[in-house]
Structure 1
Amino acid sequence: LLVFSRVHNTIPEINAEQLQVYLSLENLDLSSNLISEIKASSFPRMQLKYLNLSNNRITTLEAGCLDNLSSSLMVVKLNRNRISVIPPKIFKLPHVQFLELKRNRIKIVESLTFQGLESLKSLKMQRNGISRLMDGAFFGLGSIEELELEHNNLTEVNKGWLYGLRTLQQLYVSQNAINRISPDAWEFCQRLSELDLSYNQLTRLKESAFVGLGLLEKLNLGDNRISHIADGVFRGLTNLQTLDLRNNEISWAIEDANEAFVGLGRLDKLILQGNQIKSITKKAFSGLEGLQHLDLSNNAVMSIQENAFAQTHLKELVLNTSSLLCDCQLRWLPQWLTDSRLQQAVNVSCAHPEWLAGQSLLSVDPDDFVCDNFPKPQIRVHPETTVALRGMNVTLTCTAVSSSDSPMSTAWRKDSEVLYDAEVENFARYQQQSGEVVEYTTVLHLFSVNFTDEGKYQCIVTNHFGSNYSNKAKLTVNELPSFLKTPMDLTIRIGAMARLECAAEGHPTPQISWQKDGGTDFPAARERRMHVMPEDDVFFIANVKIEDMGIYSCMAQNTAGGLSANATLTVLETPSFVRPLEDRTVTRGETAVLQCIAGGSPAPRLNWTKDDGPLTVTERHFFAAANQLLIIVDAGLEDAGKYTCIMSNTVGTERGHIYLNVLASPNCDSSQSGVAHEEDGWTTVGIVIIVVVCCVVGTSLVWVIVIYHMRRKSEDYSITNTEEMNLPADIPSYLSSQGTLSEPQEGYSNSEAGSHQQLMAAAGGYVHKGTDGGAAPLVICSDCYDNANIYSRTREYCPYAYITEEDPLDQTLPNLMVQMPKETYTARTQHDTSALDNLLADRDLTVFLANHDKISEKKISSQQLSEPFQIPLWGVNKDLARSHSHFLHQPSARETPRPLRSEGIIDSDQEQAASPRASHRLREHNFD
């Protein structure tokens, strides 16, 4: 026995013992009995494939009640029972393909209720009153293809209860109370080919309503209350073939030219019956190239623009209306219906003008389609797109005219939805314009606009003859940026990570950008140490360096405006030696320069000690470059020792040692030194300066160049009153990182002892009055004494002693000469001038060149003295000119060094030649 049926009986329960004799059964039908429960022992082990227990009184399904049938059961029907609860995992039936639970009392379906039905293809649960489907309610149905949930109380479609239905192809949820489709509802069932959402409470279709349903072929949205369809809502339904929108409120989608059906290129059938459509624009069916069946029945269509169906390939057009406005704009329709052979399902007649009322459109003479007036409203003034700041008042105006006296009504829509509570003013007036017309103006007031007021606004003007839609005006509400987080000043050690926060709000959302010191040049960015975290509003600089220090500006900008906030990043660095400290060895009487070039942030303060004790500062001690250079003039044996440079800032302290060794002079005459020591040192300095000037004037262009460069060095050494210093070009500036620029002032240098001594002027030679009683003065050049101390009070001049220095800084600094005090200088000016005159009047000169060659002593004849001055200054000696020919191509004009002009030695108005007297006496002077 394979089939056993006991329907319409009074069987109260299922007895396993009675079924033992039917172990070979495949089909068991016990429907329409009085069975109230199914126990775990109700069925023996059988090879049953079909089980029908519908129309009983079953209220309880005991756990494991169908386990003995699990090996073969394929179809289970439990319709029309009294089941209210389905225990989770009760169906352990791996071979069941069809399960029906229609017309029960199930209100809630818990998670994992149907786990164990791996082969189930169809599940029907209509008319249960289901109001809630828990997340994962159908999880485990790995083969499901059809799910029927009609006539329940579901209110939402979301991905929670659809989770796991990856093979689902047909979903029927009509006759529910669904009013919302969540944006990601179809994430887990993207194989749907048919979806029925008819007879629900949908009022709007958002742009994301059907995202993910690219395989959908049939969509039924009929008999809802849809009044809003977002632009592009159907764009992703590229395979849709049938779309049913009957009995909704989407007349505007057809009447307004917004191309609502763009993206449905394969749509074959479109049902729009009963949507209160009054007019059809030429763009109403744009994008429906494959449309063949169009149902526009039960719409009081009054006007159809020409070429409204041009993009379609209609084979069937269902249209029945008796409200057509048969004017000149409808002249095209009868001929098109005839040519397209679509007149069979079309039943249309005229309502206006009155003399054509009731006449079939197809029977109207083409000459009767005239435009004597325009009863349908025509919009003359459209609302304008507006940009406003938050809190402002906005007014939108729309004006329409009509030749009919039919009452006009207006409505405003925002994003295709009617504004029922809007502040609207309406004005109507008559005007004479080729007959009497009515001008109707409607004004929409938006007070204190906010971001929620943003959107596209449109006015609709309607009368008995139809509606007209204005252009859409976009309202944008902006708000100036304001900071939620502002960057704070930050002080951080070098090598650490800097973190600056900045966040702003506004509308639209402001863009955050950063600047450093007013520009976009970030050293950290070039070295890929900069990281911007937009989501966390944080700006990072990793492994901070000194060059990262500066002012960082957070810029917040949107279309309404912008603002900025600044924060200072200070980088701390422990003091360090930029250059290694080097011990120095000088000869007695030379100038010793001790370098302690310091680095660090903030700039460290430098102090010097000697032999681990205080440094006694005398008039021979000078400090330069913020104490980074210690200059000891006329070094003596007592200056030898250990000098300690101590530099410190807020971060720490660093110290280093320099050992100074002073050697006795090997080549100096002691008797000459003793006599020179007794003379007044300041007088000697003045005489030396005057004599050397004459030497330079009488020698060659080489010394003019030297004078010029020495003058430039002297100016570079001048210090401003702010105790800041610029070093000459040949000495690198170690303070340039501080951004200080000092213009040369009076040429005075500050020392820690508080004395102000003028550094050496830009002279390259000096005149020394001999002490040996000779009649002729001794002319010397300071370049001969690069390593001798001209300041020495002992006058230990050693013309031929030349010690090569490796450090260019040390080669330059010994030329720094101390000028006499101002009062002494004034008293000796006359004496210095007379000394110069005596020197120039004498014919016996001795000159020491920088190459240590001695100038021959020759007498100048009276004839030579009387010759006019015509030879250029640098043409003093032809042999010398030949030996230095590369200098003769230099420009002839040279600026006279400032110290020489100030002392009256050379006239400031004659900067290209020396005085006639001096040139006359030196013109023909010959050198060995």
Structure 2
Amino acid sequence: MCALLPPPLFSFFFSLLWALPIAAGRTGDGGACLSACTCAGDLLDCSALRWKRVRGEIPAWVAHLDLSRNKLQLIDAIVFAKLRHLNELKLNNNELDSVPDLGPCSSNITVLNLANNRISKVLLEQLQPFQSLEILDLSNNNVAELRATSFPALPLKFLFMNSNRISSLEPGCFSNLSATLQVLKLNRNRLSSIPAKIFQLPNLQHLELNRNRVKRVDGLAFHGLHSLKSLKMQRNGIGKLMDGAFWGLSNMETLQLEHNNLTEVSKGWLYGLLMLQQLQLSHNAIARIRPDAWEFCQKLSELDLASNHLTRLEESSFSGLSVLDRLDISDNRVSFIADGAFRGLSHLQTLDLRNNDISWTIEDMNGPFSALDHLRQLFLQGNQIRSITKKSFSGLDTLMHLDLSNNAIMSIQVNAFSQMKQLEELHLNTSSLLCDCQLKWLPPWVAERRFAPFINASCAHPQVLKGRSVFAVDLDDFVCDDFPKPQITVQPETQSALRGSNVTFVCSAASSSDSPMTFAWKKDNEGLSDAEVHNEAHLRARGADVTEYTTVLHLRQVDFASEGKYQCVISNHFGSSYSNKAKLTVNMLPTFTKMPMDLTIRAGATARLECAATGHPAPQIAWQKDGGTDFPAARERRMHVMPEDDVFFIVDVTPEDIGVYSCTAQNVAGAISANATLTVLETPSFLRPLVDRTVARGETAVLQCIAGGSPPPRLNWTKDGGPLLLTERHFFAAGNQLLIIVDSAEADAGKYTCEMSNPLGTERGNVRLGVLPGPNCESGPNGAAVEEDGWTTVGIVIIAVVCCVVGTSLVWVVIIYHTRRRNEDCSVTNTDETNLPADIPSYLSSQGTLAERQDAYVPSENGSSHQFMASSVGGFYSTQKDMNGLCHLDTGSEVDMEAAIDPLLYHYQGAFGSLLRRGNVYSADSSEAFRSCVAEPGPACLDSYGGSLTHPRKEGHRPRRSSLQGPAELRSCEGCPADADCPPGTAFMGTFGKAAWRPQADAYPAPGPAGALRAVTLLENPYTAVDADSEHEGDGVRSLARDSEAELGCDVYEQPFDGERTGAYRCGAVST
């Protein structure tokens, strides 16, 4: 008999039989069992006796007393006076209006059930005697509030207060129970809000708040429940869960929120649920799952989203749930599943998608479930699936249970289920199958896999097989005589368009059935409900049974939102056909939203250039410097690009960073660029240390002051703290960075100060020049001649001045006449190489030739006025002594002077000899022709030994034709014989120690009649003295570019003299 009883009933009878002798024994010791009650061991059951008061004396041995389901309104403490062993008392379903007083036995009671009474208040003094109470049930009473003084400090572990009228919880109402309380149930009350931190119960593990009136849960509402494992809040009507609503529940494993009004799942209210394993969200109004919703719930193993309003499953809907085991999305409105929506759910075993609308997912997508490597069960009932392709279930190698029931499936491709090697159950019921040759494989396969008990399938076409089970049709009857299902014949094409233009997609299909055809267009796998579509149908050929259908989609004024993949779906009663997906790309040229601006900053600061652009697709931003990608700042790791801020930084800028920076924005539609100039300001500084010089008397001294700074500083030289008095022996070069003193004398010795300044500051440096006395070159027979030559020179100069004044009118007549008559071109080409001294940087050559005339800015002695000192560089030098030669002192300074007076750096265009070698007198054949200009000086009409003039004179010069152009036309000025030329070799010219330079005749071919002319450098007033009233002030150098088609001759210019000897002939314009 015992073997026939179930385990629970068997245990009950065994306990009852075992308790009988114990009860009999205690009857003798402590009293007999009450006549109306039932005794079992230490249990006395007096329930359901309709007692209004306790009748009789309760035996002292009772430990469990059941007085439930009576009509007790009052408990007499005397009745319980002897119950020293009582630890459980059931008084539920009575008419008590307060917690009864049980006398001394109260301290032993651990379980007290007062449910379904009329208790309206929970008072501290009534519960105070129950010092051993662990379980208290006050459910189904009339308690309306819980105050801070409701519960004394009791070892309570379970508190049940379901189905009361509690509408408010006073802060601290559970504080006295915080040390022991583990389970709290407040279901079916009237709570409308949960105050923050109301539950300060660190040991509570289970909390139930079902069927209350909570509409909103604020942040930190459950803070303090560090040990909570389970929280139930079903059927509250919760519509809003604020961020951090469950913050502090880091150990919670189960959260049940079914039957509420939640509309979305976001990480804000899930924040902090790091150990959550089960989340029940069924029967809500959830329509959206935010992309990062599961960031803090990555240990979730079960997710229930059934019966919600989900319409889309995005690619990020379940990202992060790598350990999810069961996912229920049944009874939603899902019609779109993105590619990769289930990616990452590698441990999912059960997926429930029943009663949705994902037919296109199964019919058209390529392996929508392929990421579910461990899926065992897949439920797809009621999804309006009409066809199953070979790729519908690709990747489900471990699937064991597939349910496709309640779908009107019309076609199943060959081997559509072949990849599911472990499939054990296939549920399918349909009466719409197209039983043609493509379905011939199904009956044998079903029989082989023994799935027939789970499948109910019958034919709908052809008409002769309609209604017959596919398993009852002979295999020879599965034939293809027509194609009632539409077949795509024209696919839509991928296109690119400009924003604002119109786009058209065309799609065609053919069918042999006269079943009504429906057309639909999808964009990114979603149907277009309000699209402009034009449909038409026509017979493919006359007399044929095949009808061709064409649908045209018109997109007007496309915008960026129009981009996507477009697909047409053509359907009839026998199924749907899906076209290829045609991509539409909308482009727009980039436009700048931020443009770089010109910037001027100091050296060492940070340059900030902004550049941003919009376009479609988003343009790429690139930077260039001076048209290239060579950034000095990048090489030195001083360049930083901030893509997020559209900012380009150069830290610790240097003059190397100066340039034009170009920002280019480019996309497939085109490119635009904007430029900004970066200017770096730098205080003046010495690029090379100033070096003292010592030269021998008569040598050339070169003092260097190599300046740096931005803008380039202006240089000023002073001597011995005073102004530098310039003579014909002083020259400046390279923007005053070189001070050249020719024929040094003892008076030139001293301290020279180079002062450089720009708007940012001034810098000074000193260099000392020493002049050593040389041998007495004037001793001997030439000494007296030198002294005599001085007086002779003075006389000759005076005569020359008078001669030139008288001949001024004649000179101008000759100039005008000669200018009009000249028909030949004149050009001068200098091809000599530029040689700089070894201690002069080569880059200085870009700042001007050494022969350029420089103006020295010299402050006056009193400091109240300033004057400009004009140097008297002429491009060549004459002797200052006799014609027999110069004194040559070999002290090494020739190197400096040779480079300083290089013929290419001077404006003189003829050949040079050496001025530092004795007896260097040019002969008549020492010059070579320069196209149509003579390289040798013409007659100057004054003695070459003349000294300084007290008054400036103007000397007219005539051009001389070279031997390449025929006989030279010789004319003389006043004071010279009319039939004779001045001696051709009366001047010393050269490069101070350099061998005579001779141009090659064949290297300078005579220009043609219309030969192109080069720019010609002209000296104006190069010999103007400091105190002379020159007609023009300035640099003394002018470059004139002539049109190649203009007729230009060798003109005459006027040149004042103030102590210089012979001037070089030039081809140029008349000085004005």
Tell me, yes or no, whether TM beats 0.5.
yes
Aligned residue number for residue 925 of structure 1: none
Does residue 791 of the first structure (1) align with residue 900 of the second (2)? Answer: no
Give 2:364's aligned residue: 256
Identify if the C-alpha distance between structure 1 residues 605 and 94 changes in structure 2 by more than 3 Å, giving closer, same or farther: closer
**Residue in structure 1 matched with residue 389 of structure 2 by the alignment:** 281
Cα separation, 2, equivalents of 1:51 and 1:834:
131
- Report the CA distance shift for 1:808/1:529 in structure 2 as closer, same or farther (over 3 A): farther
Partner of 1:882: none
How far off is 1:820 after superposition? 10
Following superposition, the deviation at residue 667 of structure 1 comes to 4.0
Q: Are residue 118 (structure 1) and residue 196 (structure 2) matched?
A: no
Change (3 A) 1:513 1:681: farther
What is the correspondence of 1:313-712 to structure 2 with a 5 Å cutoff? 313-432=422-541, 435-610=544-719, 612=721, 614-637=723-746, 639-668=748-777, 669-675=779-785, 678=788
TM-score in terms of structure 1 length: 0.76
Residues 582 and 677 from structure 1, CA distance in 2 versus in 1: closer, same or farther, beyond 3 angstroms? farther
* TM superposition score normalised by structure 2: 0.66
Give the alignment partner of residue 2 of structure 1, picking from 70, 85, 88: 88
**Cα RMSD after superposing both structures:** 3.6
Whichever residue aligns with residue 390 of structure 2, its letter is K
Deviation at 1:295, TM superposition (A): 0.8
Give the structure 1 partner of residue 139 of structure 2.
31
Secondary structure at the counterpart of residue 634 of structure 2: helix
Give 1:584 shift. Answer: 3.9
1:174 CA displacement? 0.7
Cα distance in structure 1, aligned partners of 2:488 and 2:689: 88
The residue type paired with residue 757 of structure 1 is G
Offset at 1:30?
A: 3.6
- Post-superposition Cα deviations, 1:650-672, rounded to whole Å, max 9, x if no partner, equal 33333444444445541423431
Is residue 202 from structure 1 mapped to residue 310 from structure 2 by the alignment?
yes
* Mapped partners of 2:436, 2:454: distance in 1: 23
Residue of structure 2 in register with 1:860 after alignment: none
Aligned-pair distance for 1:491? Answer: 1.8
Kindly provide the amino acid, as one letter, of the partner of residue 674 in structure 1. Answer: A
Pairing of 1:832-851 with structure 2 (within 5 A): 832-833=923-924
Residues 1:179 and 2:287 aligned together:
yes
Secondary structure in structure 1 of the residue aligned to 2:551: strand
Write the mapping of 1:697-736 to structure 2, written as runs, cut at 5 A: 727-728=834-835, 730=837, 734=841, 736=843
Deviation at 1:361, TM superposition (A): 0.8
* Partner deviation per Cα, 1:750-799 (whole Å, 9 max, x = no partner): 45447563347xxxxxxxxxxxxxxxxxxxxxxxxxxxxx8342579677
The answer as to 2:995 corresponding to 1:898 is no
What is the one-letter code of the residue matched to 1:357?
K
Letter in 2 for 1:327: D
Report the residue type matching 1:675 in the other structure.
Answer: A
How many angstroms does 1:100 deviate by?
2.1
Q: Which amino acid aligns with 1:575?
A: P
Q: Structure 2 vs 1, CA of residues 56 and 571 (structure 1 numbering), >3 Å: closer, same or farther?
A: closer
Report the AA paired with residue 793 of structure 1: K
Alignment check: 8 A CA contact 1:382 1:470 kept: yes
Distance 1:608 1:19 in 2: 108
1:433 & 1:307 partners in 2: Cα distance? 38
Distance verdict in 2 for CA 1:627–1:218, change over 3 Å: same
- What amino acid is aligned across from residue 573 of structure 2 in structure 1? H
Equivalent residue, structure 2, for 1:758: 875
* Alpha carbons of structure 1 residues 606 and 796: separation in structure 2 relative to 1, 3 Å: farther
Change (3 A) 1:231 1:819: closer
Q: Match of 1:163?
A: 271
Structure 2: distance between partners of 1:27 and 1:658: 105
User: Residues 653 and 321 of structure 1: is their aligned pair in 2 closer, same or farther, counting only changes over 3 Å?
Assistant: same
Alignment match, 2:891: 804
Is the CA contact (8 Å cut-off) linking 2:604 and 2:652 kept in structure 1? yes
State how far apart, in whole Å, the 2-side matches of 1:406 and 1:806 are.
Answer: 111
Superposed displacement of residue 140, structure 1: 2.7
**CA contact 2:371–2:395 (8 Å) conserved in 1:** yes
Amino acid at match of 1:728: N
Q: Distance in 1 between matches of 2:704 and 2:184?
A: 101
What SS class does the counterpart of residue 448 from structure 2 fall into?
A: helix
Measure, in 2, the Cα distance between the counterparts of 1:663 and 1:25.
121
Pair 638,407 (structure 1): closer, same or farther in 2 beyond 3 Å: same
Distance in 1 separating the partners of 2:926 and 2:309? 119
Cα offset, 1:73, TM superposition: 3.3
Q: For residue 187 of structure 1, give the secondary structure of its aligned residue in structure 2.
A: coil
- Tell me how far 1:33 sits from its aligned partner: 3.5
Aligned counterpart, 1:873: none
Aligned to 1:775: none
C-alpha distance in 1, partners of 2:922/2:458?
A: 131
Distance 1:66 1:646 in 2: 89
Q: CA offset at residue 409 of structure 1? A: 1.1
Taking the aligned partners of 2:453 and 2:506, their CA distance within structure 1 comes to 45
Code of the aligned partner of 2:350 = T
Residues 506-515 or 454-463, more deviating: 506-515
Contact 2:749 2:769 in 1 (8 A): yes
**Equivalent residue, structure 1, for 2:237:** 129
Per-residue deviation, 1:159: 1.8
Distance in 2 separating the partners of 1:24 and 1:588:
123
Shift of 1:92: 3.3
Of residues 615-624 and 72-81 in structure 1, the stretch that sits farther from structure 2 once superposed is 615-624
- Structure 1 pair 274/675, CA: closer, same or farther in 2 (3 Å)? same
Query: What SS does the aligned partner of 2:923 have?
Result: helix
Q: Is the 8 A contact 1:3 1:25 kept in 2?
A: no
Superimposed CA distance per residue, residues 223-252 of structure 1 (whole angstroms, 9 cap, x where no aligned partner)? 111111111111011111111111111111
In structure 2, the CA distance between the partners of 1:403 and 1:621, relative to structure 1 (3 Å rule), is same
Q: Distance in 1 between matches of 2:533 and 2:770?
A: 100
Write the letter of the residue equivalent to 1:530: M
Give the residue type in structure 1 aligned to 2:557: S
**How far did residue 578 of structure 1 move?**
3.1
How far the C-alpha of 1:616 sits from its partner, in A, is 4.6
> How many residues matched?
771
Q: 1:27 to 1:595 in 2, by over 3 A?
A: closer
Mapped partners of 1:118, 1:462: distance in 2: 58
Aligned partners of 1:831, 1:211: CA distance in 2, in Å?
97
Letter in 1 for 2:586: V
Q: State whether structure 2 residue 413 is matched by structure 1 residue 305.
A: yes
Query: Counterpart of 1:120 in structure 2: which amino acid?
Result: L
Give the letter aligned to residue 898 of structure 1: R
Which of 337, 341, 365 is equivalent to 1:229? 337
Q: 1:496 Cα deviation (Å)?
A: 2.3
Corresponding residue number in structure 2 for 1:244: 352
5+ long unaligned stretches in structure 2: 1-86, 94-115, 795-827, 856-869, 914-919, 928-994, 1005-1072
Letter aligned with residue 634 of structure 2: A
Deviation at 1:221, TM superposition (A): 0.5
Write the distance in 2 (CA, Å) between the matches of 1:29 and 1:241.
41
Q: Say if 1:254 and 1:284, in contact at 8 Å, map to a contact too.
A: yes
Where does the alignment leave 5 or more consecutive residues of structure 1 unmatched? 683-713, 719-725, 761-789, 837-894, 905-928
**Does the 8 Å contact 2:665/2:671 carry over to 1?**
yes
Using the TM superposition, give the Cα deviation of residue 16 of structure 1 relative to its aligned residue in structure 2, in angstroms.
Answer: 5.2
1:216 equivalent in alignment to 2:324: yes
Output the CA distance in 1 between the equivalents of 2:907 and 2:613: 63
State, as a whole percentage, how many aligned pairs show the same letter. 60
CA distance in 1, matches of 2:893, 2:179: 103
Q: Specify the SS of the correspondent of 2:591.
A: strand
